[in-house]
Amino acid sequence: MDFSMLCQERAGINDLTTDEPDDLVARAQAGDNAAFGAIFELHSRFIYKFIYAMLGDASQAEELKQETFLAAYRSIQNLRDEAKLKTWLCGIAKNLVYKFLRSRRKEGTGSGAEIESLRLADHKTIQPDREFLSKELNYTIHVALAELDADKRLVFTLKELQHLSYKEISEITGSAIPKLKTDLRRAKIEMCRALRPYLEAKK
């Protein structure tokens, strides 16, 4: 099953990575708030979608996105390799997501939020029946994602939904590439099992 094609077709997920000007990080490190604002514009949607895919909660994803960029703003001086900006931001977001999940487990509560559509694009011309199917599949995908353990959910989100390379994911997670491949393979098996009843029902 090609998960990336499935999710892109039904959920409007796009790889939003965009190369920033070479001096953008340097300008932000020099105190140029406009440069950091440009970094936010370039990467905020990518970070939001990553967090949302991990949590399935739009309001919490928005809050953690803001926390991610606030932390990045405060520690931009620590970034030495401009080419790693995206993975650096994603690493910050990942740590905040895991912190949130740990606190939620400690409290013994769920998000309390209804799982929403991953479709972030504004498809004004979409047909009603197609829109319903899109929302239904998005819900099914999120339910399946929520059943994965944190490691498998993380690598699945970064590889299949955000299209990062194994090298980038390794930099974000600190995990060796063989482990990432194993986790992704197991995640795909579990996702296939969860999505099979939906897909077979639509044949």
Q: State residue 107's pLDDT score.
A: 67
Model confidence, pTM: 0.70
> Domain holding 124: CATH number?
1.10.1740.10
56 pLDDT band, cuts 50/70/90, is: confident
Taking a C-beta distance cutoff of 8 angstroms, is the pair 177, 167 a contact? yes
d(Cα 147, Cα 62) in Å, to the nearest integer?
Answer: 22
Domain total for the chain?
1
pLDDT in tens, 76-95: 998 877 658 889 999 999 99
CA 138 – CA 118 distance, rounded (Å): 6
Domain residues for 174? 3-201
